[in-house]
Amino acid sequence: MFAGLKSALGLAAWVTLSLCFPFLVGAGKARAQAPVPATAVLSEIRIQGLKSLSADQVIALSQLRKGAQVQKADLQAAADCLLQTGLFAKVNYNFQTKAEELSVTFQLEESPRVPVYYDNIAWFGDSELNDAIRAKLPFFDGTLPDGGAVVDQAADALKEFLTTHNLNVQLEHELLASPIAEGNVQRFSVQQSPFFIASVDFSDPSAAASHAVRQALADSVLGKPFSRMTIDLFLAEQLRPFYIQKGFLRVKLGPPEIRLTGDPNKKLPEQLPIFVPIKTGPVYRFKDVTWSGNAILSTITLTNEIGPKPSDVADGMQIEGAWDRVREEYGHRGYLDAKVDPVATFDDQATTVSYAVSVVEGPQYHYNSLVLTGLSLIAEKKLQEVWPVQAGAVFDKQAFEQLLTKLQTRPADVFGDLPLHYETVGHWLRTDAAKHQVDVLLDFK
């Protein structure tokens, strides 16, 4: 059947796909070659480049089957199918023929995945919801890609699961920033949840005894519609600072739980009591800090920004603020790209913490131009008159931010009694690393 195409190496055709051009395929067609017969028996499917998925799982996703009669269009359709799942950032394949059989090799690059986050589906625990998705997607491990067919399939599995339990609710999913960690989460939630947060209790009584914590609970959590994200944001933004400023740098908060008493088979009440387990860990004391990569700012200058001295309780909020102060000091000197990367080392026996901070200072920028939109010519002239940086001078980010604060909160300090009608000031710094120049763009709306 393939007699006209046989050679020592066999026939090979390569097709490359990317997320930007998922249908730009068939690159091998440009090469002159003999006509390819319509079909051949698919004898072998090889998968390369896998990290978390198995070859069998990928083959199932491709919808190819060994022993089936296939043609080039079927291989292309399989590659398209793999790419559209969202599980792969790149899908390449080549195929070879020998006698009346065809073998195909897929070279894959898996896409990064993010954790699944069940926000307000209060009727079920995470494990039950995970099992519902896994029944439809056997490879599901609690994470999903940013988008693609498998995200929609996971949503469909949850919808079917809720329907089988007589819950007529509308399920939604979206990619959001994680409230408790770096990166994003794939959040699943229902519209118009019937549940509200009645109370929040903590395993550590010192949290409940704090007036500031109780006030923050009353303001942002209690009485609100039940949402794990609402609770987690409170833990991250309100409760975590309460602990780390006292030296509990490795405190573990949550995850929050719905704590009900009585018959577990009864219908859930509308008002839900929440319990938050807390493991404070030890109080750490500051030991020292070492710096690397800094040339413009001395080690003494940088260390003076830290705050706590050796043997002081390590106030985590003060220390986190120190890294921001260092970045601001670099910005004051025109180093807008400066990166400050602290790595903490904990000595659990001595209960001390040390920091190794690497600094990448980057280029020093000089001010080039100011681009204004949304102001009258008279207003533009007044703003130019008070602009704090001269053309060609080192760009002072602190002076720029101080002026920006005036524009947003005290415009009369800049424009006097000139009538103005704007509510927001969009602001961008457009840097040119090659020329070491920065343009400031302000948009008044």
Domains annotated for the chain, with CATH where assigned, are 3-110 (3.10.20.310), 113-190 (3.10.20), 196-279 (3.10.20), 285-360 (3.10.20.310), 366-444 (3.10.20.310)
Q: Does residue 430 surpass a pLDDT of 70?
A: yes
pLDDT for 31 beyond 80: no
* DSSP-assigned letter for residue 239: I
φ/ψ of 407, rounded to 5, equals -60, -35
What confidence score (pLDDT) does residue 190 get? Answer: 96
Each residue's pLDDT tens digit, 135-186: 999 999 999 999 999 999 999 999 999 999 999 999 999 999 999 889 999 9
Average per-residue pLDDT for the chain: 89
Closest CA to 379 of 285, 286, 444: 444
CA 81, chain centre distance (Å): 26
Among 157, 90, 89, CA closest to 124: 157
Q: Is the pLDDT of residue 127 over 90?
A: yes
- Burial of 393 (C-beta count, 10 Å sphere; 0-12/13-18/19+): exposed
The sign of the torsion formed by the CA atoms of 20, 23, 24, 27 equals positive
H runs (alpha helix) in 85-200: 126-136, 149-164
pLDDT for 267 equals 83
Going by pLDDT thresholds of 50, 70 and 90, the confidence category of residue 99 is: confident
Question: Cα 82 vs. chain centroid, distance in angstroms?
Answer: 23
Dmax over CA atoms of the chain, in Å, equals: 89
Whether 118 and 144 have beta carbons less than 8 Å apart is answered as no
| pLDDT confidence band for 260 (50 / 70 / 90) | confident
Residue 117's pLDDT is 97
The residues with which 175 forms a beta bridge, in sequence order, are 186
CB 404 within 8 A of CB 333: no
pLDDT value at 328 more than 70: yes
Residue 155 half-sphere exposure, CB side, CA atoms within 13 Å? 19
**Cα–Cα dist 120/158, whole Å:** 13
Question: Residue 162: its pLDDT value, please?
Answer: 96
Residue 6 has pLDDT above 90, yes or no: no
How deeply is 210 buried, as exposed, middle or buried, from its count of CB atoms within 10 A (0-12, 13-18, 19+)? middle
**Digit-coded pLDDT (tens) for 380-389:** 999 999 999 8
Residue among 180, 443, 229, 109 nearest 220 (CA): 229
Closest CA relative to residue 245, chosen from 296, 312, 188: 312
% of the chain beyond a pLDDT of 90: 82
Does residue 1 have a pLDDT over 60?
Answer: no
The predicted pLDDT at position 266 comes to 78
Looking at residue 310, its pLDDT comes to 94
**Could you report the per-residue pLDDT of 221-230, keeping only the tens digit for each?**
999 999 999 9
Lowest model confidence (mean pLDDT) among 19-28, 94-103, 152-161? 19-28
Q: Indicate the pLDDT class of residue 286, thresholds 50, 70 and 90.
A: very high
Question: If you search the block for the tokens 């399939």, which residue do you land on?
Answer: 153
Query: Could you give the CA distance from residue 139 to residue 126 in angstroms, rounded to a whole number?
Result: 17
Q: Which of 35, 44, 45 is closest to 1 using CA atoms? A: 35
Confidence of residue 7 (pLDDT cuts 50, 70, 90): very low
- The pLDDT, as a whole number, for residue 38 is 75
Tokens of residue 294, six digits: 């800094």
Q: Which residue has the higher pLDDT, 134 or 27?
A: 134
Banded model confidence at residue 98, pLDDT cuts 50, 70, 90: confident
- Interatomic CA distance for residues 326 and 58, integer angstroms: 48
Asked whether the predicted pLDDT for residue 58 surpasses 60, the reply is yes
| Span 351-355, average pLDDT | 97
The values of phi and psi at residue 341, to 5°, are -120, 100
How many CB atoms neighbour CB 254 within 10 A?
Answer: 19
With CA atoms as reference, report the closest residue to 106 among 88, 85, 126, 124.
88
Q: What's the pLDDT score for residue 172?
A: 96
Q: What is the pLDDT of residue 37?
A: 56
> pLDDT band for position 49 (50/70/90)?
very high
Q: How many CB atoms lie within 10 A of CB 398?
A: 13
pTM of the model: 0.79
User: Helices 149-164 and 126-136 meet at what angle, rounded to 10?
Assistant: 120
